[in-house]
Amino acid sequence: MQTIGLQRFTIGLVQMSCSANPEANLARAVDRIEESARSGAQVVCLPELFRFLYFCQREDAALFDLAEPVPGPTTEALGALAKKLGVVIVAPVFERRAAGLYHNSVAILDADGESRGLYRKMHIPDDPAYYEKFYFTPGDLGFRAFDTRAGRIGTLICWDQWYPEGARLTALRGASVLFYPTAIGWHPHEKEQWGAAQRDAWRTIQRGHAIANGTYVAVVNRVGHEKLAPPPGMPEPPGIEFWGSSFIADPFGVIVAEASTDREEILLAEVDQQRIEEVRRNWPFLRDRRVDAYAGLAKRYLDDDTP
Amino acid sequence: MQTIGLQRFTIGLVQMSCSANPEANLARAVDRIEESARSGAQVVCLPELFRFLYFCQREDAALFDLAEPVPGPTTEALGALAKKLGVVIVAPVFERRAAGLYHNSVAILDADGESRGLYRKMHIPDDPAYYEKFYFTPGDLGFRAFDTRAGRIGTLICWDQWYPEGARLTALRGASVLFYPTAIGWHPHEKEQWGAAQRDAWRTIQRGHAIANGTYVAVVNRVGHEKLAPPPGMPEPPGIEFWGSSFIADPFGVIVAEASTDREEILLAEVDQQRIEEVRRNWPFLRDRRVDAYAGLAKRYLDDDTP
C-alpha cells in the first residue's frame, strides 16, 4: 500500500469560461475554488491558461505582456487561498522565465500554501488558431509527480493528452491521478462534420491513459465561444467554441463524473488508493512491460532498420 | 505519400469459435478465409491460437504436443491458400522453437504464398485461467512491420493490446494497420458485475492506439464458452466465455466495423492511405513527440529519482 498521502481524497475540477480581463478570471477562479472546497474538494484543478482568453488564436508579440514569473501574482494569490482553505490547487500559469523565454506551466500549490513544484508543458501544438509554438518553449522539467497533503499527483497540459508516453512516465513516477488542464474546442466550420468524432477521440485516448496505467485521469477544459479582436484591417475570425466536457475517469477508464459542453460546472470525484490497488492487481499491466524492448520509443521514427 | 503497397486495400477479420479438433479448426479457418477473399478481402487475419481451444486455462505439460515448428503444417497449409487466393494471411501459430522453448506467434504469409516474417508475442499474461507464462517464452523479435503485396502491416497479439508502447513501436516502423489476434473473454462469475466495463476498457484502449498513432487497428477475437476437461479428480471448471466483439477502428479511432459478442462473423473494412495521410496532417501527433524526454520508458518504475 502507498504510504504517502491519504487513502482517499476528493478532487474538484473547475470548468469555467474566461474573459478578456485577467483579474476578473482570477476572481472567478477563486470563487469556484472556494465553492469546490465547501463541497469537499481537497485538490482543485483549473483549466489551462485560465487567466486569459485563449490568446494563441493569433500570433502577437505584444501578448507576452500577459506572462508573469513563477512565483508571481497568480501563484501568490492561489497559494494564499490554498492555505486559507487547506486545499491543494493545481494552478496553470503563463510563465515568463526570462526575456524571450516563456512556458505554458502548472504550479502545484500545497494545502499549506507552499509550492511543491512546477510542470512545464512538454508537447507544444501548432495548428490553425492554436499557434502555441510561437508562444511557448517546450518544457525542460520532464514528466513529474508531486507529493501533496492529499497524495502524490501528476499534471500534464492539453496537447500532452494525445501522448501515451507522457501519461506513462507520470504514472511511473507514482502519481495516483493525472490532471490535464486543457483548452480545446471546435472550429465552427468543422463542428457539424467532425465535432462529435473529435470530442470522442479526445475522451477515448485519455480514458486509455487511465486504463493503461491504472490511475485516475482528471481533465478540465474551458467553455465558451471565444473570438479575439482581429488585427487592424483584417476580418473578424470565426473563433473557437471550447467544448467543456471535463471528466474524471477511474483507474479502469470508467467515467465517474462528466460535465456539459457549454456550462460552467464543478466536477467532484473521489480518488481511492484501494481502487487503484484493486484494478492493478486484477489487470497487472505494469508487471509485464517489456522494458528491454522499448528503446525505439526514444527515436523519432524507425525507418533506419535499428532493432 | 507511401510508395509501398496499395493506396487502398480491404482487410477481413475471421471471428470464429474453436473446437478441440485442430484439423477441424484449420478447415473452418480455410473456409472462412475463402469466404473473406470472395467478399473482397486482400488481407485476412485469424484469431490468436485459432487451431485450439484456449488451452492456457490450465497448466499441463502434455499440451506442448500441440505446438509445431515455423515453417510447419499451419504455415504450409495457409501459405498455399494465400497463394491460391492471392491474399495475405495473418496466421497465428503455437510455435515450437526447440525442446522446452515455445512462443505464441503470428506468421505473415504474403499473397505469393511466401512468409514475410514472424512476430512473437512480446507481453505475456498470467492471470487465473490465462496461464500463458507457463506456455510461452516472451518474444525476442521486437515490434515489427512487414511489407506485403497489399501494404505494410503490423501485428501484435492479445495482451500486447494493453500496452501503448507496442502499438507505438509498430506504428513507428510504418505499419498502416495494427492487427491484434486475440483470445479474451469473461469469467462467468465476473460477467454480470464487471463484464461491460471489461469489454469497454478493452475496446477503448485499442481505439486509443489508433488515435495516438494515426493507424488502423483491427482486432479479431474468438467466440464461444470453452470449458476444458478437468484434471482427474477435480471439479469441472467454469470455463471462459470469449466475448467476440472483433472490430476495426480507423486512424481517428472511429469504429468502422464491429462484430457481435457471440456469433461467428467476417468483418470487412478498407484501409485507405489517404485517410491516414489526412488524419495525421490535421492531428500531427507524430511531429511533436518529445523523444529527448522518453528514456524513462525503458525503466520498470521511476522510484529512484532518475530524471
Task: Name residues whose C-beta falls within 8 Å of residue A148's C-beta, 6 or more positions apart in sequence.
Answer: A5, A43, A88, A108, A110, A111, A116
pLDDT of residue B4: 64
pLDDT digits (tens, 9 = 90+) for B223-243: 999 998 887 888 888 999 999
Task: Name residues whose C-beta falls within 8 Å of residue A97's C-beta, 6 or more positions apart in sequence.
Answer: A69, A103, A137
pLDDT tier at B1 (50, 70, 90 boundaries)? very low
Question: Chain A, 97-136: which have a CB under 8 Å from a chain B CB?
Answer: 122-125, 127
Task: Name residues whose C-beta falls within 8 Å of residue A61's C-beta, 6 or more positions apart in sequence.
Answer: none
Strands A216-220 and A101-109: unpaired
Question: Chain A, 148-187: which have a CB under 8 Å from a chain B CB?
Answer: 159, 162-166, 168-169, 172-174
Q: What span, in angstroms and rounded, lies between the C-alpha atoms of B36 and B30?
A: 10
Partner-chain residue, chosen from B125, B127, B289, that has the shortest CB–CB distance to A300? B289
Residue listed under C-alpha cell 487466393: B85
For residues A44 and A90, the answer to whether their CB atoms sit within 8 Å is yes
pLDDT tier at B305 (50, 70, 90 boundaries)? low
Partner-chain residue, chosen from B123, B212, B299, that has the shortest CB–CB distance to A205? B212
pLDDT digits (tens, 9 = 90+) for B19-45: 999 999 999 999 999 999 999 999 999
pLDDT of residue B2: 45
**Is the Cβ pair B211, A201 closer than 8 Å?**
yes
Closest residue of chain B to A166, computed from CA coordinates: B294
pLDDT digits (tens, 9 = 90+) for A46-94: 999 999 999 999 999 999 999 999 999 999 999 999 999 999 999 999 9
pLDDT of residue A2: 45
> For A107-121, A225-239, B249-263, B289-303, which range has the lowest pLDDT when averaged over its residues?
A225-239
Catalytic residue status for B48: yes
Chain A residues with CB under 8 Å of B168 CB are 164-165, 297
- Residue by residue, DSSP assigns A216-279 as EEEEE--EEEE-PPPPTTPPPP--EEEE---EEE-TTS-EEEE--SSS-EEEEEEEEHHHHHHH
Residue listed under C-alpha cell 456550462: A263
Question: Chain B, 190-219: which have a CB under 8 Å from a chain A CB?
Answer: 197, 200-201, 204-205, 207-209, 211-212
Q: What span, in angstroms and rounded, lies between the C-alpha atoms of A6 and B50?
A: 47
Mean pLDDT per block of 10 residues along chain A (307 residues) reads: 76 98 98 98 98 96 97 98 98 98 98 98 96 98 98 98 98 98 96 96 98 98 93 87 98 98 98 97 97 98 76
CA torsion sign, B242 to B197 to A157 to A20?
A: positive
Chain B residues with CB under 8 Å of A159 CB are 288
What chain A holds in terms of domains, given with CATH numbers, is 11-290 (3.60.110.10)
pLDDT of residue A4: 64
**Joined grid coordinates for residue A19:** 474573459
- Mean pLDDT in chain B? 96
For residue B293, the distance in angstroms to the closest alpha carbon of chain A comes to 6
Residue A264's region, left for phi above 0, alpha for psi from -120 to 50, else beta, is: beta
- Mean pLDDT in chain A? 96
**Is the Cβ pair B293, A142 closer than 8 Å?**
yes
Q: What is this model's ipTM?
A: 0.96
Closest residue of chain A to B286, computed from CA coordinates: A300
Catalytic residue status for A158: yes
Whether the per-residue pLDDT at B304 is higher than 80: the answer is no
- Residue by residue, DSSP assigns chain B as ---SS-SEEEEEEEE-B--S-HHHHHHHHHHHHHHHHHTT-SEEEPPTTTTSS-GGGS--GGGGGG-B-SSSHHHHHHHHHHHHHT-EEEEEEEEEEETTEEEEEEEEE-TTS-EEEEEE--S---BTTB-HHHH-PPPSS-S-EEE-SS-EEEE--GGGGG-HHHHHHHHHTT-SEEEEE---EE-HHHHHHHHHHHHHHHHHHHHHHHHHHT-EEEEE--EEEE-PPPPTTPPPP--EEEE---EEE-TTS-EEEE--SSS-EEEEEEEEHHHHHHHHHHS-TGGG--GGG-GGGGSS---S---
Cα first-last separation, chain A: 38
Whether the per-residue pLDDT at B148 is higher than 50: the answer is yes
pLDDT digits (tens, 9 = 90+) for B106-116: 999 999 999 99
pLDDT of residue A236: 86
pLDDT of residue A1: 41
**Is the Cβ pair A142, B211 closer than 8 Å?**
no
**Joined grid coordinates for residue B15:** 471471428
Catalytic residue status for A227: no
Residue of B119, B159, B165 to mutate for A, most A C-beta atoms under 10 A: B165
